[in-house]
């Protein structure tokens, strides 16, 4: 199933599809296609890691893949809000440049360089949350909820992936086992996690493809419907697909043409 899903993006009807986007929704299409590209590469990286025994590192990227799904689904629901994404990105870049100059002896703050301690800035360094790009729905969780993604993707899948990403103690108990007079670190017992992470990745990536097809009209509905049915048969159950009604999104149809691949 993983190989099949990965191959879909390099073959028609998805690969090379031309998409007509109305002028007002070009920013939304840009955000969607950027995340779609991220999703394709991240899914491929997850499969590569899992096939080489790096299950826990695959879990970290599964979290990224889920965030791609949440953001794509949110933008597909609220395409008129894409301008917030671009404004936030510009703000992040400006702040990064300002912070970079604060740490750089060759920057505008060079006169203060002699006063700097190793690794400390010459000027105040401001922070900005990378994920809080929407003024109303600032967190990934809030955007996931508003997008219509079934709660299990955030409450269970995202929570599971976040545990290892943040180094939670529950993973420590499995990996670093104390026995008698020593502590053994082993990843040998991760076969069950391997299968679970692969299932989460396949299901999430399929949902990403479904969102892209619904929002950008890639004419892949039949192919994706069959893949969803096959995945359901394989694992016994899956969750409702997003955007089962193609008319639930309204980005496409217009004179501006972009390329989805």
| 109-154 confidence digits (pLDDT tens) | 555 555 556 566 666 556 667 788 999 999 999 999 999 999 999 9
Cis peptide leading into 13, omega within 30 of 0? yes
219 vs 259 pLDDT, higher one: 219
What's the CA gap between 232 and 125, in Å, rounded? 50
Q: Mean pLDDT for the chain? A: 81
Cis peptide leading into 189, omega within 30 of 0? no
Question: Nearest Cα to 251, choosing from 217, 222, 202?
Answer: 217
Q: Identify the weakest region by mean pLDDT among 15-24, 147-156, 215-224.
A: 15-24
pLDDT of residue 192: 59
Whether residue 188 has pLDDT greater than 50: yes
What's the CA gap between 236 and 223, in Å, rounded? 20
Q: Which residues contact 249 (CB under 8 A, 6 or more apart)?
A: 76, 77, 79, 214, 215, 243
pLDDT of residue 17: 75
Whether residue 204 has pLDDT greater than 70: yes
Three-state SS at 187: coil
Question: Nearest Cα to 243, choosing from 223, 225, 261?
Answer: 225
pLDDT band at 13 (very low <50, low <70, confident <90, very high): confident
Domain total for the chain?
1
pLDDT of residue 202: 95
Dihedral pair phi/psi, residue 32, rounded to 5°? -60, -45
What is the rounded average pLDDT of the residues 82-99? 89
The top-scoring range by mean pLDDT among 64-73, 98-107, 211-220 is 64-73
**18, 259 Cβ separation under 8 angstroms:** yes
Q: What would the two tokens of residue 109 be?
A: 């703050």
What's the CA gap between 14 and 222, in Å, rounded? 12
Q: What would the two tokens of residue 41 be?
A: 């590469």
pLDDT of residue 179: 79
What's the CA gap between 195 and 64, in Å, rounded? 18
Q: Which domain holds residue 174?
A: 2-259
Q: Identify the weakest region by mean pLDDT among 62-71, 93-102, 205-214.
A: 93-102
pLDDT of residue 257: 36
40 vs 119 pLDDT, higher one: 40
């Amino acid at each position: 199933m993983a190989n099949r899903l990965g191959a879909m993006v390099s073959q028609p009807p998805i690969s090379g599809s031309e998409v007509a986007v109305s002028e007002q929704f070009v920013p939304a299409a840009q955000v969607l296609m950027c995340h779609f590209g991220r999703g394709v590469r991240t899914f491929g990286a997850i499969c590569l890691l899992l096939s080489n025994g790096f299950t826990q590192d695959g879990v970290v990227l599964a979290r990224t893949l889920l965030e791609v799904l949440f953001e794509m689904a949110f933008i597909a629901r609220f395409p008129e809000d894409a301008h917030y994404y671009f404004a936030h990105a510009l703000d992040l870049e400006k702040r990064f440049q300002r912070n970079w100059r604060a740490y750089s002896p060759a920057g505008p703050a060079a006169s203060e360089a002699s006063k700097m301690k190793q690794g400390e800035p010459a000027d105040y360094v401001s922070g900005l949350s990378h994920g809080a790009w929407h003024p109303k729905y600032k967190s990934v969780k809030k955007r996931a909820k508003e997008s219509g993604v079934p709660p299990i993707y955030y409450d269970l899948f995202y929570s599971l992936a976040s545990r290892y990403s943040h180094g939670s103690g529950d993973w420590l108990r499995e990996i670093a086992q104390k026995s008698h007079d020593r502590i053994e670190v082993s990843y040998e017992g991760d076969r069950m996690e391997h299968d679970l992470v692969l299932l989460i990745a396949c299901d999430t990536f399929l949902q990403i493809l479904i969102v892209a097809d619904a929002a950008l009209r890639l004419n892949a509905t039949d192919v994706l419907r069959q893949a969803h049915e096959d995945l359901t048969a394989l694992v016994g159950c899956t969750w409702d697909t997003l955007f089962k009604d193609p008319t639930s999104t309204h980005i496409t149809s217009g004179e501006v043409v972009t390329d989805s691949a």
